[in-house]
Chain A
Amino acid sequence: GKVPAGNILASAPSEKNLESWRELGCRTTHCNLEVVQRSTLVFLATKPHILPGVLEEIRPAVESHHIVVSLVAGVTIQTLQRLLPPWTKVLRIMPNLPCVVQAGAMVFSRGTSAGDKESALLKNLLSSCGLCEEVPESYIDIHTGLSGSGVAYVYLFAEALAEGAVKMGMPGALASRIAAQTLLGAAKMLLETGEHPAKLRGDVCTPGGTTIYALHQLEKGALRATVMSAVEAATNRACDMAKD
């Protein structure tokens, strides 16, 4: 809600993606050049292999007042700067899926010519979609492993929780909703209390009670190590893909 829809111009090669933009009240076009010519802040949201072509296309129209923000996975700032005029203000951002419900987690890094002003603008703009933090570029792949892919880990966990409940006799739909709410509530408490998760976990565990029995099962399954390995695997994969 920070920018009037009419001020946003979106472009795509075909009509199918543009419909949703128009519904929001944005203007649309099929011409990338037009977007660059008529805008100050330009977001690049293509698939990685398409990007070089697009950059080639818009390069002539890029000027010193432009701010180019790339959401393209695996394309480094170095690459972006190489394919654009040398003094271009470039930033690279990695969002995650829940941005669509304004509960996203985004990290961004700035290129050589981007300054505090650009950084503040981006952060300000995107905070309405969730958490938005500036980081060194090396953290971006880690963010992918933690939060980009991380969303899927949570879905997996939610599914498993619900299945456990179904096994014990609860109907699936209800179990799923409760599982989701449980995750939401726990996350909310973490964010709002600022307490260490270990402390919050301890607070839930009454001596000899249900929770500690369950946690023992999780520890037996080496859940922690598995999750660590998952984040590691996704991060490494992101690094590898970036090299291609």
Chain B
Amino acid sequence: AGVLAAHKITASSPDTDLPTVSGLRKMGVNFTVSNKDTVKSSDVLFLAVKPPIIPFILEEVGPDIEARHIVVSCAAGVTISSIEKKLSTFCPTPKVIRCMTNTPVIVREGATVYATGTHADVEDGKLLEQLMASVGFCTEVEEDLIDAVTGLSGSGPAYAFTALDALADGGVKMGLPRRLAVRLGAQALLGAAKMLLESEQHPGQLKDNVCSPGGATIHALHFLESGGFRSLLINAVEASCIRTRELQHLADQEKISPAAIKKTLLDKVKLESPSLSVASASKVSLFTNKSKKN
């Protein structure tokens, strides 16, 4: 996204057949199958694996972690303290930052929050913020809010996709061709979101501005209210947040032997894996080395 030169980025994945791999290669990112190599050649490490895999990865790269490294975990439900605990056997003061982002980073409209660990400095946090701000909105939060963020903006795109699918259905029912209905629905939500972000006004006020007395919109809104639209959304955010906490709790409680870890890891890697890659970026002085690549 223009903040960092692609060749300063190294990505590693055990499985080289993944579409993500070829995509990254096309961008000019350095690629390796060795997590160890990645760690050695980088300053900032993004752990982009599924939460259950995190402990295994940390075991693997732990010995190579040095004081300079900033370990950034995007794994849902994995706490800073669990990562620090794992790494502390290898490095006395590991710098850990936990972040939660969402899929629209792909189109540079992500929503990212991060919380800094015990040994991460203010500049480390700012570095991450600058990186993630290039793909959307990014701000620091207290770690205990990350579950709520997951429920809202982490899962949020799914709620939006569901809404858009249904809105398109509505359009189709009333006679629009599907493609047009999808396009218009998406644009409507995009536009509304943009208006809200750029306006000082409360969403309730913006809603009122659209509702002319006795008009079409207010009739439609009445239907939404009758269906408990608002409460459904509140329920959704709540459920996602609670489930995140549950999963975190389950993860914290898991105690698996290292040997079993290694075996499971290899098997899992070969079988599962769409999002199994560890990408990392070199630390650059951001005030002088901004690159326009990618």
Contacts and interface: CB of A to CB of B under 8 A. Distances in A.
Interface of A: 196-199, 202, 216, 219-222, 224-225, 228-229, 232
Interface in B207-249: 208, 222, 225-228, 230-231, 234-235, 238
Contact of A228 (B202, B222, B234): B222
A199 B205 contact: yes
Given A196-B204, A198-B204, A198-B205, A219 B234 contact: yes
Chain B interface main SS type: helix
Given A196-B201, A220-B228, A222-B231, 4 more contacts: A198-B204, A216-B238, A225-B226, A228-B225
Chain A interface main SS type: helix
B225 A198 contact: no
Most-contacted residue by chain A among B201, B230, B234 (CB, 10 A): B230
A197 B208 CA distance: 11
B203 interface: yes
A222 B235 CA distance: 13
Nearest to B224: A225
Interface residues of B, number: 16
B151 to A, nearest CB: 12
B222 A225 contact: yes
Contacts of B208: 196
Contact of B204 (A199, A216, A219, A232): A199
A233 to B, nearest CB: 12
Contacts of B204: 196-199
A222 B205 contact: no
Contact of B230 (A197, A219, A229, A232): A219
A216 B231 contact: yes
Contacts of A229: 222, 226
A232 B226 CA distance: 13
Nearest to B233: A219
Nearest to A227: B225
A225 B229 CA distance: 10
B225 A225 contact: yes
Contact of A216 (B205, B225, B227, B234): B234
Contacts of B201: 196
B162 to A, nearest CB: 19
Contacts of A199: 202, 204-205
B222 A219 contact: no
Interface in B120-172: none
A46 to B, nearest CB: 31
A122 to B, nearest CB: 24
Contact of A222 (B202, B203, B226, B238): B226
B48 to A, nearest CB: 29
Contact of B228 (A197, A202, A219): A219
B234 A222 contact: no
Nearest to A199: B202
A189 B227 CA distance: 30
Interface string B169-212: 00000000000000000000000000000000111110010000
B150 to A, nearest CB: 15
